[in-house]
């Protein structure tokens, strides 16, 4: 049974509380956008694709329970709620993507004057629900492209992959992006081993990726973040494959803090470095990584684990949740559902129209 980050059936919506993993499997009910905002902000759910899907489904369940006097009232409410959901976490583009796409489709329906208020409301709900349904297929396609590209470098051999943070079933609606590449390699019996970093301070690697690897019986080895460079020096790593929160037009990529230093070490040790990014995490509206807002998280997420202090009381902290890897260090390519792309190919492949066509 695959790990399920969420359950959504007929407007009943619940998410797996990832703050309790790996010790406890507990689902939290989401009834409206406020519930959705809270679980995203607290990182009870996290992962760029998943937070976009949770935002969309939070709106869907809220709209299922509401009636509106007019299409203007409906449009105003949807606009307000999507703008609110975007404020939960700024770095990943995924919630903004949902905002832009749903509002564009809603506006088109309202202006068409061909549909009743109830029909328009039902279409918004259906389109919000479609993000979950589309995500797993996107991930499986992306994973195949990435695995085939990596295997083409190592004719006939099995490969040893280093990954960072969590990019699997717990970061998406299923299968995963970078960890989806690992899953596909394992399914093809071409994965020797997956090495995963702890990914301090939230420990997505030790708590979530290690959990997924053990659950799926994929050969995995946990390392501390500080071990990554010597691992690449001594342990014959075939490729580094990481996820993305926002890939911009020139290929610069915001991803979990620690990604940039992995890319620098990979460059030094001549290990191919790949970013796995579905179209929902690609933002060609920004031209370079300098424009990406980097979320800073509370110091308490660094100075304690499960309430137990691990740092000197009173010390100042700096806790950026992401860093930006310049495109020049992404030497393997950007793994998408449209293929493994060079940064120069992103704008052609992922204009807004193409993304919408691909999603629905
Ligand atoms: C497919 S997950 C993409 C991306 O999102 C994660 O961030 P967070 O755990 O803070 O939500 C991480 O950067 C992953 O690589």
ipTM: 0.99
Which residue owns the Cα nearest ligand 1 atom 13?
A: 256
Whether the CB of 303 sits within 6 Å of ligand 1: no
CB-based contact 148:188 (threshold 8 Å): no
For residue 40, the CA-to-ligand 1 centroid distance in Å is: 12
Which atom of ligand 1 is the closest one to the Cα of 43?
11
Which residues form the catalytic set? 245
Q: Which residue in this structure is represented by tokens 């297929």?
A: 137
Which residue owns the Cα nearest ligand 1 atom 7?
A: 47
The domains located in the chain, with CATH, are 6-135 (1.20.120.420), 142-359 (3.40.50.10470)
CB-based contact 106:117 (threshold 8 Å): no
Per residue in 279-303, is it b (16+ CB within 10 Å) or e — as a string? bbbbbbebeebeebeebebeeebbb
Name the residue of 171, 254, 263, 320 to mutate for ligand 1: max ligand atoms within 8 A of Cβ: 171
Task: State the average pLDDT over residues 291-317.
Answer: 96
Which residue owns the Cα nearest ligand 1 atom 8?
A: 47
pTM of the prediction? Answer: 0.96
Q: Which residue in this structure is represented by tokens 């899907």?
A: 53
204 CA to centre of own chain: 12
Long-range pairs, 295-300, Cβ under 8 A, ≥24: 295/89, 295/90, 295/91, 295/320, 295/321, 295/322, 296/320, 296/321, 297/201, 297/202, 297/321
- pLDDT computed for residue 355 by the predictor: 46
Chain segment 144-182, per-residue pLDDT in tens: 999 999 999 998 899 999 999 999 999 999 999 999 999
- Euclidean distance between the first and the last CA atom of the chain, given in angstroms as a whole number: 27
Whether the CB of 256 sits within 6 Å of ligand 1: yes
Band of pLDDT at residue 1, cut at 50, 70 and 90 = confident
Which atom of ligand 1 is the closest one to the Cα of 46?
11
């Amino acid at each position: 049974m695959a790990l399920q980050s969420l359950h959504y059936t007929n407007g009943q919506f619940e998410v797996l509380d990832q703050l309790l993993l790996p010790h406890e499997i507990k689902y939290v009910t989401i009834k409206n956008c406020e519930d959705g905002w809270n679980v995203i902000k607290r990182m009870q759910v996290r992962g760029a694709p998943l937070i976009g899907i949770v935002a969309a489904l939070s709106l869907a369940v809220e709209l299922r329970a509401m009636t509106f006097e007019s299409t203007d009232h409906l449009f105003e409410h949807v606009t307000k709620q999507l703008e609110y959901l975007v404020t939960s976490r700024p770095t990943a583009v995924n919630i903004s993507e949902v905002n832009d796409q749903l509002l564009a489709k809603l506006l088109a329906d309202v202006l068409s004057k061909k549909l009743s208020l109830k029909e328009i409301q039902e279409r918004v709900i259906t389109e919000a629900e479609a993000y979950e349904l589309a995500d797993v297929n996107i991930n499986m396609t992306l994973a195949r492209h990435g695995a085939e590209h990596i295997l083409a470098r190592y004719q006939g051999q099995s490969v040893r992959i280093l990954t960072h943070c969590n990019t699997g079933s717990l970061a998406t609606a299923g299968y995963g992006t970078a960890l989806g590449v690992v899953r596909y390699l394992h399914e093809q019996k071409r994965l020797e081993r997956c090495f995963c970093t702890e990914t301090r301070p939230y420990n997505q690697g030790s708590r979530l990726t290690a959990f997924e690897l053990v659950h799926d019986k994929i050969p995995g080895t946990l390392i501390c973040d500080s071990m990554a460079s010597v691992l690449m020096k001594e342990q014959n790593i075939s490729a580094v494959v990481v996820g993305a929160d926002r890939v911009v037009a020139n290929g610069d990529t915001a991803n979990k803090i620690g990604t940039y230093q992995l890319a620098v070490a990979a460059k030094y040790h001549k290990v191919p470095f790949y970013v796995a990014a579905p179209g929902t995490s690609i933002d060609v509206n920004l031209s370079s990584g300098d424009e990406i807002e980097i979320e800073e998280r509370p110091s308490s997420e660094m100075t304690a684990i499960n309430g137990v202090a691990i740092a000197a009381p009173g010390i100042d902290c700096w806790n950026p949740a992401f860093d930006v890897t310049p495109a020049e260090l992404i030497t393997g390519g950007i793994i998408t559902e449209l293929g493994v792309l060079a940064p120069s190919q992103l704008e052609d492949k992922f204009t807004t129209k193409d993304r919408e066509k691909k999603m629905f």
